Amino acid sequence: MARQQITNAIKKVFGISDWSLFSKNLHKKIGKIIYKKKYTANDLLQVMIKMGMQPGDVVYIHSSMKEFYNYQGTAEELINVILDYLGPEGTLVMPAYPPNFFSISKTCLTENYHGLQDEVKFDVKTTPTGAGYLAEVFRKMPGVKRSINLQHSACAIGKYADYLLSEHQFSKTCWDEKSPYYKLTLLDAKVFSFGLPYFVSTVIHCTDSLLYGKYEFFDYFFRRSITYNYRDENGNIGTHTMRTQDSMKRRNKKKMVKRYFAKEQFLKTSISNLRIELVYAKYTHERFMELARQGIVMYSQPDPKKCSWVPMD
């Protein structure tokens, strides 16, 4: 019997309507039986230090707190111990992209903007993030600032916060030179992921933006123009137009890391069940750019083999 038929049969017998949610909950229940070690915010901090984090660093964190099975603490405690360690010269950054971007963006086509001029699609203070609980708690903390971008906003606090965030509303594509993600590569940020195996980093998408218009393949990623109104931190309304894709693309980041990364550039460890990874923004970006110019990308759709890899300019 085919795998899908087995899945459908199990769903029918047990009355499961959402297989993905059922699978995640089952995985978590089994994980809590297998993994017993409890840990605190300070334990996580010590792991990060052992992996290479230092005071004054620029640190970017991706996370899934659903994977923090045996964590004895709160999101606020974890954020605060990291900030205390980084000190006044450090900077902490997290993603803050709004949920449901693709459904929202379909209503923001530039050609239809004239009918949406009184509608604010992104409020830098109140629009929630779809990047997980830790990122949402961080977004709401006093002193944390946020970039203006409907597709892939970011939040930050610390020495380089303004530098990272201040130009995102002028980006022509989401991850270009004005974005926080490209600037993270210039600062060689340390990028941690908690509970997201081979997530690598959002900075990998800078390749898409920087090679748009230079190689045929990357033109597929920015075929739509959207225009939306935003409300900034002072309550002023502005307008941003940028190019974006119409859907998520199939990708395999794990393959890229295993085949093409130097071993010392992809660090991983765990505490209890929680997998923790570290990559360096500068190396990651430069490696992805180098590979892309050779026609080696993480995407399988569109098919890179069917595109020309002769530079367009």
| Residues 102, 146, 268, 261, CA torsion sign | positive
Flag whether pLDDT at 117 surpasses 90.
no
Flag whether pLDDT at 174 surpasses 80.
yes
> Which backbone phi and psi does 221 adopt, to 5 degrees?
-85, -10
Quick one: average pLDDT of 266-273? 96
List residues bridging with 271 in a β-sheet: 274
The confidence score (pLDDT) of residue 128 equals 96
Flag whether pLDDT at 17 surpasses 80.
no
Based on the number of CB atoms within 10 Å of its own CB, is 59 exposed (0-12), middle (13-18) or buried (19 or more)? buried
The confidence score (pLDDT) of residue 102 equals 87
- Amino acid, res. 298: M
Question: Which residue, among 176, 137, 182, has the nearest Cα to 163 in the 3D structure?
Answer: 182
| Pairing of β 91-95 and β 154-158 | antiparallel
C-alpha span between 59 and 95 (Å, rounded): 12
C-alpha span between 304 and 8 (Å, rounded): 34
Give the Å distances, CA to CA, from 313 to 122, 172, 207, 212, 310: 35, 18, 16, 11, 9
Let me know the angle formed at the C-alpha of 140 by 134 and 145, rounded to the nearest 5 degrees. 105
The confidence score (pLDDT) of residue 212 equals 95
Give the pair of three-digit tokens for residue 201.
Answer: 């980093």
pLDDT in tens, 275-306: 999 999 999 999 999 999 999 999 988 889 88
The confidence score (pLDDT) of residue 251 equals 87
Is residue 117 a contact partner of residue 146, using CB atoms and an 8 Å limit?
no
Average pLDDT of the chain? 90
Give the pair of three-digit tokens for residue 180.
Answer: 């926080």
Flag whether pLDDT at 10 surpasses 80.
no
The confidence score (pLDDT) of residue 123 equals 97
Give the 3-state DSSP-derived string for 221-286, with helices as H, strands as E and coil as C: HHCEEEEEEEECCCCCEEEEEEEECCCCCCECHHHHHHHHCCHHHEEEEEECCEEEEEEEHHHHHH
C-alpha span between 298 and 284 (Å, rounded): 13
Which range among 101-105, 107-111, 246-250, 259-263 shows the weakest confidence by mean pLDDT?
246-250
* Pure H helices in the chain: 3-14, 19-34, 41-51, 75-86, 101-105, 133-140, 161-165, 180-186, 206-210, 216-219, 253-260, 281-292
The confidence score (pLDDT) of residue 118 equals 80
The confidence score (pLDDT) of residue 22 equals 54
Give the Å distances, CA to CA, from 38 to 47, 72, 195, 290: 14, 7, 15, 42
Q: How confident is the model at residue 225 (pLDDT cuts 50, 70, 90)?
A: very high
The confidence score (pLDDT) of residue 157 equals 98
pLDDT in tens, 20-49: 555 555 555 565 666 678 999 999 999 999
Question: Which residue, among 85, 306, 103, 304, has the nearest Cα to 211 in the 3D structure?
Answer: 304
Q: Give the pTM.
A: 0.89
| Residue scoring higher pLDDT (153 or 308) | 153
Flag whether pLDDT at 18 surpasses 70.
no
